[in-house]
Amino acid sequence: MEYIALHEFLLNPSDALLLDVRSPAEYEAGHIPGAVNLPLFTNDERAQVGTEYKQRSPEKALLLGLDIIGPKMSEIIKQVKKYKVQDVIVHCWRGGKRSQSMAWLLGFAGFNVKYIQGGYKEYRRNILNSEFFKDFKIIILGGRTGMGKTGFIHTLRDMGEQVLDLEELARHKGSAFGHLGESSPPTNEQFENNVAAVLQKFDKAKRIWVENESRLIGGIVIAQELWNKMKAAPLLNIEVSEKQRLNNILNDYGHFSKEELIASFKKIEKRIGGQNLKIATEAIEVDDLTKAIQVALKYYDKTYDYNLSVNTSPDIHKLSLDGENIEAQTKTIIDYADRNIRFN
């Protein structure tokens, strides 16, 4: 059996089928992006083997594992053959018995197989290490709520810039209204894995745009090392007209039901006050979304301005944009960054 070191696996993307042989529960909690789950044990079977290992002996656990796996061997090979590949990379939690057993079985069946040394545990250690983020050149794109940061992030990407869209990866827009229109979020662990997978594809010699976020995006927490990198990065604070801000918010949220919008406002009742909640609710009921938005913006503007005043970035820039054409505005953002933002 051959193993592949994690750094080699990360630095040299392969067309090989990546198999995660851990249990379904382990896979769902977090996995290497692109990996296919083909578990040796079900969740219950893994628990049984673990209990045998702890309460009796490693030898007993091994024998139980073999008893469980034996009847599955033929079906495992059939499942892998469905992918019509010859090269396979296997991993489990630590690169131990599960991945080595699968590598042996598939190798015996004629596949070219390697297992990842250190397994998923080593992958997690690597992507949460400060060295992983060390050489990335990040620019934070900021601005008050409604200025269209997400739209600018997407347009920057369309124009060939490197973009790390944390809200897209978290499946949340980052406010009390951020869950609207989104599918179920990933686990925090999987969010970190997905972030790492995006960053691994980037050219470290080029800048990366990241939308200004709080550390908490919905229920997702940004990993400490990435957060440290973001807080130390240059911040380009964008300003657009009030008309554009209102239009952006109306376009993003105006199609949701009154019930959904009111429920979202209730989440910030303690922050805006009961009277403002009443004003916003009544405005929504009579389809005056502009008035409701203005209530929310008073709170969000105050919060953003305070956070900007205590921002620890050593390099803060402000750029006012004219007009409402997002492509032209994005070109202005790129031109400003080219001329004014440098990295140490």
Show me where the domains of the chain are located.
2-127, 133-340
Distance of CA 115 to the CA centre of its chain: 26
* Token pair in block for residue 300: 């969000």
Q: How much is the pLDDT for 46?
A: 86
Measured CA to CA, the distance from residue 11 to residue 26 in angstroms comes to 25
Sheet holding 112-116, edge to edge: 2-4, 112-116, 87-91, 17-20, 36-37
Reduce the DSSP state of residue 344 to 3 states and report it: coil
* 133-340 shares the fold of 2-127: no
Fold of 133-340: Rossmann fold (3.40.50)
The pTM of this model reads 0.86
Which of 19, 80, 92, 127 is an active site residue?
Answer: 92
* Digit-coded pLDDT (tens) for 165-223: 999 999 876 665 656 656 688 999 999 999 999 999 999 999 999 999 889 888 899 99
Q: How much is the pLDDT for 12?
A: 83
Q: How much is the pLDDT for 176?
A: 58
Measured CA to CA, the distance from residue 287 to residue 302 in angstroms comes to 25
Measured CA to CA, the distance from residue 177 to residue 262 in angstroms comes to 10
Q: How much is the pLDDT for 178?
A: 58
Does the annotation count 293 as an active-site position?
Answer: no
Residue type (1 letter), 205: A
Reduce the DSSP state of residue 207 to 3 states and report it: strand
Q: Cα separations (Å) of 76 from 2, 49, 87?
A: 20, 19, 15
Q: How much is the pLDDT for 177?
A: 66
Reduce the DSSP state of residue 184 to 3 states and report it: coil
DSSP summary character for residue 71: G
Residue type (1 letter), 285: E
CB within 8 A of 182, min separation 6: which ones?
A: 171, 172, 173
For 2-127, CATH gives 3.40.250.10
